[in-house]
A and B are shown apart, each in its own frame.
Chain A
Amino acid sequence: MATCSDGKASESGSCAGFLLSNLPDDVLVEILCRVTDRKHLTRLKSVCKSWSNLITDACVPKISASSPPQGFIYIVKKARNGKPNNIDYFPCPMTPGVEPGPHEFVKSYSSLLPFQPTRNDFLDCCNGLLLFVEGCTMQYYVCNPMTKHCIAIPRGSMLENIIFASLAFDPSRSPHYRVVCIEFSEFNPPLRLHVFSSETGNWSMHETPFGYSFRCTLVRRCIYVDGTLYCISTSKQLICFDLNRGNSRAIRLPQWKRLDPDGFGCAGPSRGRLCYSDLIGTTFYIWLLEDRCKNDRWTLIHRISVDYLGKHQHQLDRITISRFGKISALRPFALHPTSDVIFFGTPRVMLSYHLQDRRFELIDRAREDRQILYGQLMVFPYTPCLVNLKHFG
């Protein structure tokens, strides 16, 4: 018999049973990621040590990288009785499987917190983790509603004048998260970031070149993509904080005349890259930010005419159509992190739009007495995440 020229074959030599009793790790990961019940997958960590490591180190990142959002957390504005706004949730019907209803979801995180969160205590939701602050004590909490963990973040000594805080977390790359507090003091520019790393358990401080001198205000919502936190400013710029390198820069948003000059669109991760969407006139535009490190450039990747929506509105029911209202009320809410879908709508209705086949579907209608506030600013896609959080002690 000729000698085998294939390296793989000769590795195991003449040992016929070698491959038969051992599934290669990558195949095993492939199988385990297909176990649809994620709780069951987690229980399978008990099978043996190598499975436990494989599930933690390979399956969880792989699942995280491809998981669609299960629903949306949004800040509710009650239309009539002027009561304080609160936090609500609606499941995303695009995602198959048993969804928690709005009530169960809200309960799933509020039961973990040592206080009753109000709308102002909720700060961010990033790839499955939620960030809260207890208003009177300024104590930060990070929750994972899936794994029922709630972690009190150790206090930083320099946390004053914090205008808002965000989470930086991407379980497809690392099980560690960062809490980023943005400090603003009118008398003491520039803008500073205080970053807590769950990996080190410590706070660190980063100065940015941005002051508030040019009357720029940050929108209180950050998007985390690939090590960088992006934040829209009212001066039509996207401020980027590179958390790994500790530097920051500003990118001009695509220049178009908006109907409402003070408004802004929606930035979000789509397949690991940052996109920006906005309604200009009667068309939704979607741009992709390219070449982030060297030369930032916006590339237009898709256009959706509102007329198109009008022509196909027979796909929607009458209540949905009646809740649409004016074109100017249309806003992009979020981008789908793992497929070519954008979520948009009005304060009363949310739709999903599939870029490839130009199909749209109803996601949810807000209840009669409720509204979804301010487009992206108050809408947070939620994707369950299997990462266990550890306490700091």
Chain B
Amino acid sequence: MSSSTDSPTLTTETTQLSPQPDTETAKPTKKITLKSSDNQIFEVEESVAMEFATVKSFFEDSPSTDTVPLPNVTAKPLSQVIEFCKEQIKFKANPDEAQKKKYNAEFVTEKSDKDLVDMIPVANYLEIKDLLDVLNQAVADRIENKSVEYVRSFFGIDNDFTAEEEAALRREHAWAYEGVDED
């Protein structure tokens, strides 16, 4: 998985910057602008933005605004979240549980550990329940039966136990270490 921070979907989004004022007679393709913490602009269709409960309630509170600032969200995970929600909209129009399951599985399989972990707070903050479910499950699957050290590095957590504390914890939970190879 590449570690570059610029995302390919970003460019396709930003090309659609021109406002589309008179589309009410046709399909309601109103665009909503999302601004990430690193000042990237994302234009998404209203239906996609309404998948984000946080954005939706923002609009309910102040319907006149057309740009939603997302100060906690950086561009890369946001673009991935948008990509996911666009697909979900299609499934909403055309329900196909098997296809949806397949897409969701592929969506997480091709992401790096870091991408997944970075997307979770975004999905949580934007309150996209379906995505959060998919991500939580994917992360749980990835740490299943992995060593404590692996899990620490997966989440970027520093061990704050002393050696004695860790040994005491192990003694207390000896049953959980039975039949486990020491690593």
Contacts and interface: CB of A to CB of B under 8 A. Distances in A.
A350 interface: no
Interface string B141-164: 101110010011001111111000
Contacts of B57: 6
Contacts of A31: 120, 136, 139-140, 143
A106 to B, nearest CB: 17
A59 B178 CA distance: 21
A34 B134 CA distance: 11
A52 B169 contact: yes
Interface in B51-105: 54, 57-58, 61-62, 65, 67, 69-74, 77
B71 A13 contact: yes
B37 to A, nearest CB: 4
Interface string A19-57: 111111001001110111101101111111101100000
Contacts of A13: 71
Given A1-B67, A16-B71, A35-B143, A27 B124 contact: yes
Given A22-B121, A23-B117, A24-B124, A9 B172 contact: no
Contact of B144 (A16, A19, A37): A37
Given A22-B121, A30-B136, A39-B175, A2 B152 contact: no
B72 A27 contact: no
Given A34-B136, A43-B173, A1 B122 contact: no
Size bracket, chain A contacts: 35 or more
Contacts of B148: 43-44, 46-47
A47 B71 contact: no
B80 to A, nearest CB: 13
Interface string A218-262: 000000000000000000000000000000000000000000000
Given A27-B132, A27-B136, A48-B160, A8 B125 contact: yes
Nearest to B152: A47
B38 A16 contact: yes
Interface in B9-59: 35, 37-38, 54, 57-58
Interface string A372-388: 00000000000000001
Size bracket, chain B contacts: 35 or more
A87 B158 CA distance: 47
A23 B175 contact: no
B23 to A, nearest CB: 24
Contacts of A22: 121
Contact of B175 (A5, A9, A30, A146): A146
Contact of B166 (A19, A46, A149): A46
A261 to B, nearest CB: 47
A9 to B, nearest CB: 6
A43 B67 contact: no
Given A1-B35, A4-B69, A34-B140, A47 B159 contact: yes
Contact of A9 (B71, B151, B174, B177): B71
A43 B120 contact: no
A42 B151 CA distance: 13
Nearest to B141: A34
B160 A49 contact: yes
A295 interface: no
A9 B70 contact: yes
A23 B121 contact: yes
A64 B176 CA distance: 17
A349 B50 CA distance: 53
Contacts of A49: 160-161
A111 interface: no
Nearest to B133: A30
B1 interface: no
Nearest to A29: B136
A6 B52 CA distance: 13
Interface of A: 1-2, 4-6, 8-10, 12-14, 16, 18-24, 27, 30-32, 34-37, 39-40, 42-49, 51-52, 146-149, 388
Given A35-B143, A51-B157, A148-B174, 10 more contacts: A8-B54, A34-B137, A39-B176, A39-B180, A42-B173, A44-B148, A46-B161, A47-B148, A48-B160, A52-B169
Q: Would you list the 8 A-B pairs with minimal beta carbon distance, nearest first?
A: A34-B140, A16-B37, A42-B176, A19-B121, A148-B175, A39-B176, A19-B72, A46-B148
